[in-house]
Amino acid sequence: MLEELSIENFALIERLHLPFRSGFTVFTGETGAGKSILAGALGLLAGARGSLDQVRSGAEEAHVSGVFSVPNNPGLRQWLDDRGIAIEDGSLIIRRVLRQQGKNGAYIQNTPVTIKDISEISEFLFDMHGQHEHQALFDTRFHRRYLDAYSGLLDLGEKLKNTFLTLNSAKKKLETLSQNQADRDRERQLLQFAIDEIDAAQISPHEDRELEQEKAVLDSAEELMQLSQLSYELLHGEEGGILPFMYRLKDTLGQIDRLDSSQRELSERVTNTYYELEDISDQVLHYKDRVSIDPERLELINERLDVLYKLKKKYGGTLSHVLSYRQEAEEKLTQLLEVSGNREQIQVQIQQLESDVLNQAVQLTKLRRMGAQKMEKQVATALEGLRMGKTGFAIQVTQRKSESGTPLCGPYGADEIEFLLSPNPGEPLKPLRSIASGGEISRVMLAVKSVLSEVEGIDTLVFDEIDTGIGGEVGLALGTYMHKTAEKRQLFSITHLASIAVQADNHIMIQKKEDGGRTFTHASYIEGNQRVTEIARMLSGTSNQKTSLNHALELLVQFHPEQKYLSQDTQGSF
């Protein structure tokens, strides 16, 4: 169950902390007080997308977190184990952060997760039904999901879908195999030619750079020889060379050092410079000896560069790209050869997959029809408690067919599943989407959700104004049904009907107040006379009419006779 809800800087809520109780809890308040804000906060915990306009004006971040007691659900525990998330003291904390700047955050315990993860885990913890979600009953895709969830067939349906997708993939492979053989042979020849041509060249990734550098040296060999000879003469020439002068300077400073040791550093520096220049002179001489004019080598380099240029132009801008092209060509060639050799194997695989799909679909149809019979009875019983006892309800499971009448099987089986309704006795069952009114569709959805929650083991149900379009005795029946449902699980209802609110175990009132020129939304539990006043407001739109107050008191005494609502001197009347 949902144990606590904390909200900070979310829309008009600056800071709110609500500990929750078990049983049936209602949220009420005047229009615009912030009931939808509370629903939006709960929606974030269910995986809804957040938006910047939900961050309170003047704040940088909005925080919404919920503490859930963890049900004994093997699927939930496996989901958490797969992600390395531990349960602490039997509880889980789901937290959402909306930021004006930067990326929004989603967390389970303190582990960062995706919105998809939040949506997945919330399905184990609570079921939230928004104001407009009953429109899902007009979409037959949801009918299939509801029936499969009730019948415990979601895993089998997922298995069929995966088998079906594998079958489609195999058929596409076979289609590729069935393409024109001449086209495949032509492509194979082109790929083999490219591989042979690149292999024959025996290239290395940076060979062209090395050859271009060597070519630049050979192109300038004569000039380089002249420059290196001149450099050597400037360093070592007997007439005007630097080294003979440096030698004399080294010897002179050495004599000064022997006479005056304070100049030793200067002598050592000149000595070091002399030997450094002597080493440079040797290297220049060696370089000059290595430089050679070699027209034959230059011609070979030019020929090799021409080969490499053609390969780069043909297969990529660099030699690395050429080598990558060669690897890709080899992979494609291998695929073509494998495809040609695996045609019969794929055909056998398709036959087996088609058989698997058919068998799984037949099994799914059988189990769906069995589940439909049970679900029909449970939903019908629930509708009876919602003042729809004379309404006929059925789940139709029929064979899917094409426009021409040919039986079809898709990723979710061979069945068309649709909820049917007969609002009045004697009238035939018709698709729910074509005949149900707003009040009826809300009650059907409540019946379906409550029935599903029993088989799915969901501890918490949240209904956001499911009573839209309902009033009078139907509202009383709706409240009675919710109260009964809440005997086995936690149930929240955001409502505008006094006939529902008066039957709740717990009543939270949402109010909007102004302080210092700013608007704030508050929420708090109400009891006793506060609750009488709020119920009176819901009945007549005002909380100070004696008739409304007395009516509110009568209702509360009727449903909660154990509680005290009046002070000692009121003597039973307002």
Q: What is the pLDDT of residues 419-443, one digit of tens each?
A: 998 877 878 888 887 776 667 777 8
For the cut 60, the answer to whether the pLDDT of residue 42 exceeds it is: yes
So what's the pLDDT on residue 323? 92
Q: What are phi and psi of 324, to 5 degrees?
A: -65, -40
So what's the pLDDT on residue 468? 73
- Say if residue 531 is in the same domain as residue 516: no
**Residue 88 bridge partners (DSSP):** 91
- Say if residue 500 is in the same domain as residue 541: no
For the cut 50, the answer to whether the pLDDT of residue 569 exceeds it is: no
**Residue 61 bridge partners (DSSP):** 99
Return the closest-CA partner of residue 543 out of 552, 573, 27: 552
For the cut 90, the answer to whether the pLDDT of residue 236 exceeds it is: no
Pairing of strands 126-129, 460-464: parallel
Instruction: Find tokens 């508050």 and name the residue.
Output: 522
Instruction: Find tokens 């930067």 and name the residue.
Output: 102
- Say if residue 530 is in the same domain as residue 504: no
Least confident of 38-52, 303-317, 430-444: 430-444
Sign of the CA dihedral with 424 first, then 496, 40, and 490 last:
negative
Distance CA 75, CA 159 (A): 16
So what's the pLDDT on residue 161? 95
- Please provide the DSSP assignment of 523-556 as one string: EEE--HHHHHHHHHHHHHS-S--HHHHHHHHHHH
Q: Are 86 and 80 in contact (CB under 8 A)?
A: yes
So what's the pLDDT on residue 571? 40
- Say if residue 50 is in the same domain as residue 71: yes
- Say if residue 498 is in the same domain as residue 565: no
So what's the pLDDT on residue 234? 86
**Residue 128 bridge partners (DSSP):** 462
Q: Backbone dihedral region of 472: left (phi > 0), alpha (psi from -120 to 50 degrees) or beta?
A: left
So what's the pLDDT on residue 402? 86
**Residue 65 bridge partners (DSSP):** 6, 95
- Say if residue 1 is in the same domain as residue 114: yes
In a domain, 284, yes or no: yes
Q: What are phi and psi of 21, to 5 degrees?
A: -110, 165
So what's the pLDDT on residue 232? 82
Q: What integer is the mean pLDDT of 470-493? A: 88
Distance CA 498, CA 481 (A): 15
Residue pLDDT, tens place only, 516-531: 788 889 999 999 889 9
So what's the pLDDT on residue 374? 95
Q: What integer is the mean pLDDT of 205-227? A: 84
Q: How confident is the model at residue 108 (pLDDT cuts 50, 70, 90)?
A: very high
Find the helix or strand (DSSP H, E) in which 246 lies.
helix 242-259
Highest-confidence range of 244-248, 412-416, 420-424, 463-467, by mean pLDDT? Answer: 412-416
Least confident of 129-143, 385-399, 487-501: 129-143
- Say if residue 567 is in the same domain as residue 497: no
In a domain, 445, yes or no: no
- Say if residue 513 is in the same domain as residue 540: no
Give every CB contact of residue 140 below 8 A, 6+ residues apart in sequence. 416, 417, 418, 419, 433
Residue pLDDT, tens place only, 368-389: 999 999 999 999 998 888 888 7
For the cut 70, the answer to whether the pLDDT of residue 444 exceeds it is: yes
Return the closest-CA partner of residue 375 out of 148, 125, 160: 148
For the cut 60, the answer to whether the pLDDT of residue 570 exceeds it is: no
The structure tokens listed for 338 are 């494998």
Instruction: Tell me if residue 494 falls in helix, strand or coil.
Output: strand
So what's the pLDDT on residue 501? 94
In a domain, 432, yes or no: no
So what's the pLDDT on residue 132? 59
Distance CA 211, CA 492 (A): 79
Distance CA 223, CA 217 (A): 10
Instruction: Find tokens 């019979």 and name the residue.
Output: 373
In a domain, 571, yes or no: yes
Q: How many domains does the chain have?
A: 3
pLDDT above 90 coverage of the chain, percent: 41
So what's the pLDDT on residue 32? 82
For the cut 50, the answer to whether the pLDDT of residue 118 exceeds it is: yes
- Among residues 317, 342, 372, the one where a domain terminates is 317
- Say if residue 81 is in the same domain as residue 64: yes
Q: Count H helices and E strands in the chain, helices first.
A: 19, 15
In a domain, 184, yes or no: no
Round the CA-based radius of gyration of the chain to a whole number and report it.
42
Least confident of 32-36, 469-473, 476-480: 469-473
- Say if residue 4 is in the same domain as residue 116: yes
3-class secondary structure per residue, 32-54: CCCHHHHHHHHHHHCCCCCCHHH
Domain interval for residue 558: 526-574
Least confident of 18-32, 243-257, 336-350, 494-508: 336-350
For the cut 60, the answer to whether the pLDDT of residue 567 exceeds it is: no
In a domain, 116, yes or no: yes
Q: Backbone dihedral region of 468: left (phi > 0), alpha (psi from -120 to 50 degrees) or beta?
A: beta
Q: How confident is the model at residue 147 (pLDDT cuts 50, 70, 90)?
A: very high
Note the helical H segments in 98-153.
Answer: 115-125, 140-151
Give every CB contact of residue 234 below 8 A, 6+ residues apart in sequence. 240, 241, 242
Average pLDDT value for the chain? 87
Residue pLDDT, tens place only, 87-102: 988 899 999 999 999 8
Pairing of strands 415-422, 392-399: antiparallel
CATH of the domain at 69: 3.40.50.300
Q: What integer is the mean pLDDT of 338-360? A: 86
- Say if residue 498 is in the same domain as residue 548: no
Least confident of 33-37, 104-108, 214-218, 542-546: 542-546
Least confident of 225-234, 463-472, 544-553: 463-472
The structure tokens listed for 458 are 């969901």
- Please provide the DSSP assignment of 210-236 as one string: HHHHHHHHHHTHHHHHHHHHHHHHHHH
For the cut 60, the answer to whether the pLDDT of residue 55 exceeds it is: yes
In a domain, 111, yes or no: yes
- Among residues 476, 500, 521, the one where a domain terminates is 521
Residue pLDDT, tens place only, 13-33: 999 999 999 999 999 998 888
So what's the pLDDT on residue 568? 33
Distance CA 478, CA 54 (A): 32
- Say if residue 498 is in the same domain as residue 574: no
In a domain, 72, yes or no: yes
The structure tokens listed for 284 are 């220049």
Q: What integer is the mean pLDDT of 164-190? A: 83
- Among residues 252, 287, 317, the one where a domain terminates is 317
So what's the pLDDT on residue 438? 67
